[in-house]
Structure 1
Amino acid sequence: MELRNDPQSHYALNACIDKYYGSKGLPCLPYGGVQIRTSVIDGQIHEDVYEKVYFVARKYFIKYSIPIDTKNCFAMLSFAIGPNYVPMTWLVTEENESKFRVDNTTEAVVHNLAMLDEYLAGRLI
């Protein structure tokens, strides 16, 4: 399913992430609501992405960003390190960056969560 900025897509993102971690027996809770990131260009406000934060396995936070403006933004999984979220592509080698998908589909979300598992297990650097 392609994710957009609408209530059905927000629900689908939550359900997709919940199902992924539920199948592994890990708790995963949405943390807060949907946040819209904007930019100002020539005095006009543009909605770039919406983001959802999740608390996974009672251990760490992840943030998933879905593009609203698909011309300039990509879907992205970020991992919390200290007080900041870091895109997963910054945490792996240049060779492994391409293993993360940037399309805004539920299939890409599941794929990226699996890549996060590989990273956390030390098999993806």
Structure 2
Amino acid sequence: MQERGTDRFPVHELVHAWQIHQTPMDLTFLAEAFVTKVCEATGGNPSSCGPAGASYDEFSIEAQAQVVEDWFAGNTPAGTDRTGQACDTSGPYVQYITGNIRTGSTGSTGSTGSTGSTGST
């Protein structure tokens, strides 16, 4: 993985802006952000998400942003089934782009890219 100074870094941060727009700023969202920082401080990796298949809302807020960043850049972190092709429209992670990011759905996504429940806006 490259340093955060690259052109894909704004993609990661824009996902956080999307999350804030799609999710009510309540204690749950703030608590998850706090847990993410505690995970980092104790040596954990809150951006880790593993292979595709889980619903988007099961990923931490950092993992959601990392999924989009890695899809955009074509990254292939260990433990994932990403293809290494930037913006791959047939890879396993495109379901989160088409079923969540593009539709504004913070809820679950099926393997076909259909959306489930949506978050409040």
TM-score normalised over the length of structure 2? 0.33
Larger Rg: 1
The structure carrying a bigger strand percent of its residues is: 1
Of structures 1 and 2, the one with the larger relative CO (CA 8 A, separation 6+) is 2
- TM-score with structure 1 length normalisation? 0.32
